[in-house]
């Protein structure tokens, strides 16, 4: 049976991608953020996951304001990264896991969700930047991709509870998959930031630390705020915490015990954003 080996949560700011492309990892501005990936690299080398199921938000690459699905799941054999104008020319291929994708789609539909099924799909910086952070320097990524896009752009947005429940359904689907893949779930985006309007540059350290403090032991604490509350607290782009909530729900839904934090890093600012990286694993897998 397939297993979820852990969960990885990280920011996907395009500026991080430009820093990677320009080899600025040791620059004083960027170093505190990139240093947070040392334990992630060690953990990935140890676990060697076969598939990453990534909860993220599309930034107008596949979907725009005239047609924005609440949830969309990729079921392609391969995904191409297309730069949306940020100058991030990452060309490594993203190999898909279509059989697992279809199983997840079938199971979440049976759980009364209605995702858009995408047999052809591109990915933007919300997937490309985390992959480059996790697996730097190789010719091809060692881990295949199942992308799950959540609408964090066009209102009405899904509620935190709805995203949590979607994640739990995805976790149950992975646990019921008959293959032998080892799966890492990822939530990308955030933390608090706003890129436009009178509150451009808004960062809420207190809210960010509330999320980081509760993500492992009490993730349902993050459900106490509705989506508009989160926009007010974390900024219009800070609502990307919905991706983290869904990924954390997937760890819960896989049903293999309590969750332990293995590593956490928080740094302000990264390109007007509160940037964070968190690594979680089920307690019964720690030191296994």
pTM: 0.94
**Assigned token pair, 98:** 């279509």
pLDDT of residue 39: 97
Predicted local distance difference test score (pLDDT) of residue 82? 83
Token pair, residue 264, equals: 């956490």
- Give one DSSP letter per residue of 40-90, joined into a string: HHHHHHHH--SEEEEEE---SSS-BTTB--SEEEE--SEEEE---SS----
List the chain domain ranges: 3-273
Whose tokens are 């359904």? That residue is 169
215 or 200: which carries more pLDDT confidence? 215
Conformational region of residue 14, where left means phi above 0, alpha means psi within -120 to 50, and beta covers everything else? alpha
List, for residues 121-150, the tens digit of each pLDDT value. Answer: 999 989 999 999 999 987 889 999 999 999
Dihedral angle computed from the Cα positions of residues 174, 177, 181 and 182, in that order, rounded to the nearest 10 degrees = 30
Residue 175 has pLDDT above 90, yes or no: yes
For residue 87, the model assigns a pLDDT of 65
Asked if 73 contacts 104 with a C-beta cutoff of 8 angstroms, the reply is yes
Residue with tokens 């307690």: 283
Q: Which helix (H) or strand (E) holds 175?
A: helix 160-176
Looking at residue 287, what is its pLDDT? 53
Whole-number percent of the chain with pLDDT over 70: 95
CATH topology of domain 3-273: Protocatechuate 4,5-dioxygenase; Chain B (3.40.830)
Active site residues: 12, 59, 193, 240
- For the residues 79-103, what does the mean pLDDT come to? 85
What per-residue confidence (pLDDT) applies to 55?
98
Question: For the chain, what is the mean pLDDT?
Answer: 91
pLDDT in tens, 99-112: 999 999 999 999 99
pLDDT digits (tens, 9 = 90+) for 71-80: 999 999 999 9
Distance, CA of 276 to chain centre: 12
The residue whose two tokens read 């759980």 is: 111
């Amino acid at each position: 049976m397939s297993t979820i080996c852990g969960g990885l949560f990280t920011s996907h700011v395009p500026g991080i991608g430009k820093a990677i492309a320009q080899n600025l990892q040791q620059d004083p501005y960027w170093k505190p953020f990139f240093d947070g990936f040392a334990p992630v690299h060690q953990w990935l080398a140890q676990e060697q996951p076969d598939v990453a199921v990534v909860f993220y938000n599309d930034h107008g690459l596949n979907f725009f304001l005239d047609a924005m699905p609440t949830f969309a799941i990729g079921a392609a054999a391969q995904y191409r990264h297309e730069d949306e104008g940020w100058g991030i020319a990452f060309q490594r291929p993203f190999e898909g896991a279509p059989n697992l994708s279809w199983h997840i789609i079938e199971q979440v539909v049976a759980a009364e969700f209605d995702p858009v099924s995408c047999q052809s799909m591109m990915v933007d910086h919300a997937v490309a930047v985390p992959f480059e952070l996790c697996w730097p320097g190789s010719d091809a990524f060692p881990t295949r991709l199942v992308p799950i896009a959540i609408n964090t752009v066009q209102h009405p947005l899904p509620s935190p509870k709805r995203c949590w429940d979607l994640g739990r359904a995805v976790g149950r689907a992975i646990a019921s998959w008959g293959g032998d893949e080892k799966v890492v779930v990822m939530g990308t985006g955030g933390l608090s930031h706003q890129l436009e309007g009178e509150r451009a540059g808004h960062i809420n350290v207190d809210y960010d630390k509330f999320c980081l403090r509760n993500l492992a032991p009490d993730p349902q604490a993050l459900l106490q705020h509705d989506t508009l509350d989160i926009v007010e607290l974390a900024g219009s782009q800070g609502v990307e915490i919905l991706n983290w909530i869904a990924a954390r729900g997937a760890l819960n839904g896989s049903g293999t015990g309590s969750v332990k934090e293995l590593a956490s890093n928080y740094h302000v600012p990264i390109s007007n954003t509160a940037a964070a990286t968190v690594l979680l694993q089920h307690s019964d897998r720690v030191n296994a």
